[in-house]
Amino acid sequence: MDAQMKKGLLDACVLHILTKGDTYGYKLTREITELMDVSESSLYPVLRRLETQGFLETYSAEHSGRLRRYYRITASGAKRLAEYKNGLAELKRIIDFITGGDANG
């Protein structure tokens, strides 16, 4: 997939994963990389930025004798995700149109 297109989707993916429950860096990265082909090191800057923009927040919880950092979506993050989804609905129509003839379209 086009790198530029992926860029726009990465934020949305992260926020979407977080709506299903709080999670930690490694797990989040694995989920994303199973979905799309991005470098595993690309997640940190995204998380950090989403955090400074107030779309997600972090907290630490103990896990097997050490602290693990968890990410949680905020209200404004949820709002942002909804905006993304609105935008993606249009994209989906276009994709359906382009791939209209295909069985899986």
Partner 1 sequence: MDERIKSFLDALAANLEGLAEDEKREALDYYEEYFSDALEEGADPGELLSRLDPPEKIAAAIRAETSIRLVNADPGLKNYSRLVKSAHAGITGPLSVFLLSLVIFTTYSIAIILFLCTVVSAAAACIILPASISEAFKIPARYIGEIAGTIGIGIFASGVCLLIAYGFYVLCRPLIRVSASLVYKMVKKGSKPGSNTVEAHQDVSGVTGPKRVCRSLRAGLIITAAGLAVSLASGLPVKLFMIFNSMKPADITVIQREFGMDGISEISIETAHSNIRLTEGGSGNISLEYEKSNWLDFDIKSDGGRVVFTERSNGRLPLFSLVSLHENRAELIISLPSGWEPGSVRLESRGGTINIESGSFPVQAKTYTGTIHLTVPADGDLQEIPPAIRAKSSKGAIFLQDKTTGAKRPYGTEYELQSPGGVTIRLESERGNIVLD
Asked if 86 is part of the footprint of partner 1 (rule: CB under 8 A), the reply reads: no
CB of 90 to partner 1, least distance (A): 18
Please state, as a whole number, how many other Cβ atoms lie within 10 Å of the Cβ of residue 38: 19
Between the CA of residue 14 and those of 54, 65, 72, 100, what are the distances in Å? 14, 27, 10, 29
Helices then strands, counting H and E runs in the chain, come out as 4, 3
Closer residue to partner 1, CB minimum distance, 30 or 92: 30
Asked if 37 is part of the footprint of partner 1 (rule: CB under 8 A), the reply reads: yes
**How many Cα atoms within 13 Å fall on the side-chain side of residue 61?**
9
Asked if 23 is part of the footprint of partner 1 (rule: CB under 8 A), the reply reads: no
Binding site for partner 1 (CB under 8 A): 1, 3, 6-8, 10-11, 24-27, 29, 33, 36-42, 44-49, 52-53, 64, 66, 68-69
